Amino acid sequence: MISENVRVAIRPISMLLTFIWAGEFFSFGVYYFIANQAASQAKPPLDSVDPMLPVIFCVMAGVSLFAGLGLKWFVFSQRRAQAFLCKQLSPIADKPQDETLAEKSLIILAKGSFQPYLMSLGLINTCIIFGMVLSVMQQDLNTFMPFLTGSVAGSIFCFPRVEPFVEASMQNWKQSFRHRT
């Protein structure tokens, strides 16, 4: 169980990540609106579009989506957290009652996951941008829908859970400490 001091310190990080995560869905709506407006235009679609371009965009969108999911998995992995905590908390290994260093390390762990998490959301957002550009170029809204579905599913999977992550990290560190002694 993490202390109330740690909970209060990481709550702003958790709330900010949740607001940014929710903002992703607003941006998805904007991209859908742009793709819908382009698809409803009376102009014929661009004939100069290379037939390989949709394939290239699909591959790049898939790679960015899976890179974003992988980065989120890496950022919030317990293995990474345990390696960080063992490195940070090795000075107090002989006196586990010193909770202040452990608390500071947990706060650093939570703050350190902010930037990579934003990069993860950006990579997931890149997937839908590829779909929007392809949809605008082909003036076909149906082209956009698989990219939208993948990005929404990826964003739902990447919901920020900072407090449970920090709590599990502390419990795992305490269990590993007990096994060492």
Q: In this predicted structure, what is the pLDDT of residue 91?
A: 58
- Report CA-CA distances (Å) from 104 to 28, 44, 138, 171: 37, 60, 52, 15
Q: How many domains does the chain have?
A: 1
Q: Is residue 47 part of a domain?
A: no
Pick the residue with more confidence: 4 or 88?
Answer: 4
Q: Is residue 46 part of a domain?
A: no
Place of tokens 């819908």: 36
Q: Is residue 174 part of a domain?
A: yes
Q: Is residue 154 part of a domain?
A: yes
Q: What tokens were used for 42?
A: 């009376």
**What is the chain's mean pLDDT, rounded?**
84
Q: In this predicted structure, what is the pLDDT of residue 89?
A: 66
Q: In this predicted structure, what is the pLDDT of residue 129?
A: 96
Q: In this predicted structure, what is the pLDDT of residue 20?
A: 93
Q: Is residue 172 part of a domain?
A: yes
Q: Which domain holds residue 84?
A: 4-41+52-180
SS3 state of residue 140: coil
pLDDT tens, 73-100?
888 888 888 777 777 666 555 555 556 7
- Position 8 confidence tier, pLDDT thresholds 50, 70, 90: confident
Residue 178 has pLDDT above 70, yes or no: no
Q: Measure the CA–CA gap between 55 and 61, rounded to whole angstroms.
A: 10
Q: b/e per residue, 87-103, with b = 16+ CB within 10 A?
A: ebbeebeeeeeeeeebb
